[in-house]
Amino acid sequence: MLPMSVITAGIACLCLANVALGGTGADLPPSNEGLLVKTLLGAYKERGTEARPLQNSSERVTVNFGMRLITLDLDDAEQTMKTSVWLRITWNDPYMTWDPSEYGGQRYIAIPSDKIWTPDIYNVNTAVATMKSRTTMVSVKYTGFMFWTPHHEFIVGCVIDAKAYPFDEHTCSMWFQQVADKSTSFDLQPYHNSPLDLSTSLQNFRQAQGWDVSNNKTEWVEEPKLHNTILVFSGRPSLKFSLTAKRRPTFQAYLLLVPCIVLPLIASLSFTFPFERPDRISLIMSLFGAYVILLLLLTSTVPPSPASIPNLCECEVKYQYLFDVFESPGLYYSVDLGMIPLCIMLTSLVVNVIIQKLGFILCLRSEINEYKPGHQTKELSLPEDATFGFAASKVSFHTQHTDDKLAHLCEGS
């Protein structure tokens, strides 16, 4: 057995050989990118992230601001518009420049946004106190060009007038300003030629949304107060992003339009049935139940917009009222005149136009021949049931007056 001193000496030799050949990870030299980031952040730490990245304080920082729309939704009850966007912000930082040849050709790096100066641009017409955001890295080019794309969710107030529901469209605006810096030290401009990019929304999220973006507009407003717009700083330049969203009609919306048109038509047909037939009562009760279900669907589907009443509800009421006006003569014919036979001869013009033509349209073929010229009319026979006493009295009254008036017409002809 080897002595203890020999074993200890062997272990010591192995440790020395490991250190001499490989070393540890901490002893490895930093990469060109790591050395560059360390150098730039070290200089930034000494200077501070609060001051603007300018060598001359009298100059202005030009910031280009835009966004890429991901999703959009309008809340009719809360009168708000919710958007999920990727912001696109660019500016130049002269302190973030380097020579790529000194760092192995490194042209781009990524730096945490909280380690450098970033523009403080906020949505000033937000409807909530806090906004959801996700911090991302800032892409830096060797020339000092900075590109930052943080993710945000904005909720802004929007007047949603659902008068044209379900074919309504609304225009909502988002206002952005710099808050901390003065307007003399900060130049806010739209992001190149496409400040509001809709390609992501229209291609990937079109089927998942209930709204279609029909139009968009970006404006640079020098003084919002001149446009009757009150913001946090109404005298500072602002960027206004306007979105026009059109509601996508759903199957449920069409399911409401068809009954609004068909049910009054079916109700008018109920007056062509004889009043004593029991299936007429069944049809009317079925229509009454259908109207109740339609009203429940309208109440649950139509957006509760406080701005106005939807035209769909107004048309339903007016359409039904119009049919009620035209159905009143049908009710009079069905209850009263339907029981009264003509007891005198009418002129051929009245018989051909009113009785034969109109009777054929109303499918009263069995009654057409009864009132032809030269045909002897049958006498009126009423049921002996006491429940028809009131109807019999009305028939007697209308028959007497109808005979007098028609006889006078026949004498005149």
Residue 391 belongs to what H/E stretch? helix 389-412
pLDDT winner (highest mean) among 98-102, 333-337, 387-391, 402-406: 98-102
Q: Give the single-character DSSP code of 161.
A: -
Mean of the pLDDT values across residues 248-265?
Answer: 74
Amino acid letter, 128 = V
Q: What is the pLDDT of residue 374?
A: 52
pLDDT band, very low/low/confident/very high, at 2 (cuts 50, 70, 90): very low
Strand partners, 79: none
**How is the beta sheet containing 211-221 ordered, strand by strand?**
121-123, 169-178, 238-247, 211-221
Q: Which residues contact 355 (CB under 8 A, 6 or more apart)?
A: 346, 368, 371
**Across 362-382, average pLDDT:** 51
Mean pLDDT value of segment 122-140: 80
Is residue 211 within 8 Å of 246, Cβ to Cβ? yes
Distance CA 239, CA 196 (A): 11
Mean pLDDT of 66-94: 88
- On whether the 34-249 domain is CATH 3.30.70.1150, my answer is no
Going along 149-261, which residue ranges are E strands?
151-157, 169-178, 186-190, 196-197, 211-221, 238-247
Q: What is the pLDDT of residue 88?
A: 92
Q: Which of 47-61, 258-272, 362-376, 393-407 has the lowest mean pLDDT?
A: 393-407
Rounded to an integer, what is the distance from CA 67 to the centroid of its chain? Answer: 20
Give the pairing type, strands 61-75 and 80-92.
Answer: antiparallel
304 to 112, 158, 298, 301: CA distances (angstroms) = 45, 14, 11, 9
Quick check: helix, strand or coil at residue 56? coil
Bond from prior residue into 259 cis (ω within 30 degrees of 0): no
Query: Where residue 92 falls among pLDDT bands split at 50, 70, 90?
Result: very high
Q: What is the pLDDT of residue 227?
A: 60
Look at residue 159 and give its three-state secondary structure.
coil
**Structure confidence at residue 405 as a pLDDT band (50, 70, 90):** very low
- Using alpha carbons, select from 307, 306, 367 the residue that is nearest to residue 341: 367
| Confidence tier at 144 by pLDDT (50, 70, 90) | very high
* pLDDT over 60 at 3, yes or no: no
Query: For the residues 345-366, what does the mean pLDDT come to?
Result: 56
Is residue 91 over pLDDT 60? yes
Reference 334, options 362, 355, 365; nearest CA is 362
What are the domain boundaries of the chain? 34-249, 250-335, 342-413
- Cα separation, 112 vs 101, in Å, equals 24
Task: Name the token pair of 2.
Answer: 């080897």
Q: How many CA atoms lie within 13 A of 310 on its CB side?
A: 22
86 neighbors 153 (Cβ within 8 angstroms): no
Mean pLDDT of the chain: 72
Amino acid 147: pLDDT: 95
Q: Which residues contact 239 (CB under 8 A, 6 or more apart)?
A: 65, 175, 176, 177, 188, 190, 195, 218, 219, 220, 221
User: How far is the C-alpha of 86 from the C-alpha of 65, rounded, in Å?
Assistant: 11
The answer on pLDDT for 412 being more than 50 is no
Q: What is the pLDDT of residue 13?
A: 56
Q: Which of 371, 334, 374 is nearest to 355 (CA)?
A: 371
> CB burial class (10 A; 0-12, 13-18, 19+) of residue 89?
buried
Q: What angle do CA 277, 280, 283 make, to 5 degrees?
A: 155
Q: Considering the chain, what percentage of its residues have pLDDT values greater than 70?
A: 58
Indicate whether this model's pTM tops 0.85. Answer: no
pLDDT bucket at 216, cuts 50 / 70 / 90 = confident
**Tens-digit pLDDT profile for residues 145-204:** 999 999 999 999 888 887 777 788 889 989 898 876 665 677 888 988 777 777 665 555
